[in-house]
């Protein structure tokens, strides 16, 4: 079993839809959670960073963490074609000081 | 957010030659830098972790004599692919972090070995 499981998609939605991206994890030591967006042939861009259970909102993006269920989500409201990219969840236990990534979800927002 | 640059963005080299890739943190001091490799439609594969002034820690299966990493300052790390072969062709990405846990990634370097 992988430490982090992420639905690879691909996921295709119409413009304006709400998108839900999810990851589950098995290592209860993970304390820090990140979502990255990666466009084709570019490096990942940090979108959201959180370290506590609950919701964190930044513009159209909301990151949700449920440590009791070992489940994290990223919601994108009013999705735009420019949101079309691969989204990676990533986690850190703190002691390892390196990230464990999900496999990535490829999202396409259709105009 | 913090900015990490990489140079070059794309390099083509002949088999048997060496290639150096630079990674710089532009507006913060990076206590730790990471080097990743990524194949098409796959996630990032960590190659090594480096701390300023000390030897890099390589992941299992990564040849340290082939992928030389130097982290000479708090803003610069270099990856040298020695005696490159076509199978080394890939997308190489660095990342950097301060004392907190966010990692900021560079734009990546596409290496093609002919």
List, for residues B28-60, the tens digit of each pLDDT value: 898 899 999 998 888 899 999 998 888 899 999
Whether B67 contacts chain A with CB within 8 A: no
- Residue B20's pLDDT is 97
| Nearest residue to A66 (alpha-carbon basis) of A20, A33, A18 | A33
Q: How many residues does chain A have?
A: 111
pLDDT digits (tens, 9 = 90+) for A33-45: 999 999 998 999 9
Chosen for mutation from B101, B102, B109 (greatest number of chain A CBs closer than 10 Å) is B101
Could you give the CA distance from residue A83 to residue A70 in angstroms, rounded to a whole number? 26
> What's the rounded mean pLDDT across residues B24-29?
92
Q: How far is CA A82 from CA A75, A79, B5, B7, B12, in A?
A: 15, 8, 23, 26, 30
Name the minimum distance, in Å, from the CA of A69 to any CA of chain B.
22
Nearest Cβ partner for B49 among A49, A88, A98 = A98
Task: Give, as one character, the DSSP assignment of residue B41.
Answer: T
Residue A27 has pLDDT above 80, yes or no: yes
Residue A13 CB contacts under 8 Å (≥ 6 apart), including other chains: A19, A79, A107, A108, A109, A110
For residue B110, the chain A residues in CB contact (below 8 A) are: 41
Nearest Cβ partner for B43 among A49, A97, A103 = A103
> What's the rounded mean pLDDT across residues A88-97?
83
Q: What average pLDDT does chain B have? A: 92
> What's the rounded mean pLDDT across residues B92-111?
90
CB contact at 8 A, A101 and A30? no
**Joined tokens for residue A43:** 């490096």
- Residue B51's pLDDT is 86
Could you give the CA distance from residue A4 to residue A47 in angstroms, rounded to a whole number? 18
- Residue B1's pLDDT is 67
Residue of A97 and B65 predicted with greater confidence: B65
* C-beta atoms of A97 and B49 within 8 A: yes
**Joined tokens for residue A58:** 């930044």
Nearest chain B residue to A6 by CA distance is B43
**Joined tokens for residue A79:** 């999705």
* C-beta atoms of B107 and A42 within 8 A: yes
- Residue A93's pLDDT is 84
**Joined tokens for residue A35:** 């979502």
- Residue A72's pLDDT is 96
* C-beta atoms of A34 and B104 within 8 A: no
Could you give the CA distance from residue A50 to residue A62 in angstroms, rounded to a whole number? 11
């Amino acid at each position: 079993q992988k430490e982090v499981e992420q639905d690879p998609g691909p996921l295709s939605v119409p413009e304006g839809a709400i998108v839900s991206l999810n990851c589950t994890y098995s290592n209860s030591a993970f304390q820090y959670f990140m979502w990255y967006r990666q466009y084709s042939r570019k490096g990942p861009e940090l979108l959201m960073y959180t370290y506590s259970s609950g919701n964190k909102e930044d513009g159209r993006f909301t990151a949700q963490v449920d440590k009791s269920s070992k489940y994290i989500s990223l919601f994108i409201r009013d999705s735009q074609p420019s949101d079309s990219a691969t989204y990676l969840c990533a986690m850190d236990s703190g002691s390892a000081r390196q990230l464990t990534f999900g496999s990535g979800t490829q999202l396409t927002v259709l105009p | 957010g913090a900015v990490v640059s990489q140079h070059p963005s794309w390099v083509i080299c002949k088999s048997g030659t060496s290639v150096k890739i630079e990674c710089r943190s532009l507006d913060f001091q990076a206590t730790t830098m990471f080097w990743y490799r990524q194949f098409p439609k796959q996630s990032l594969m960590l190659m090594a972790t480096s701390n300023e002034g000390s030897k890099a820690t390589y992941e299992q299966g990564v040849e340290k004599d082939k992928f030389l990493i130097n982290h000479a300052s708090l803003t610069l790390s270099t990856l040298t692919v020695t005696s490159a072969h076509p199978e080394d062709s890939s997308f190489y990405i660095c990342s950097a972090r301060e004392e907190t846990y966010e990692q900021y990634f560079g734009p990546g370097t596409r290496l093609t070995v002919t």
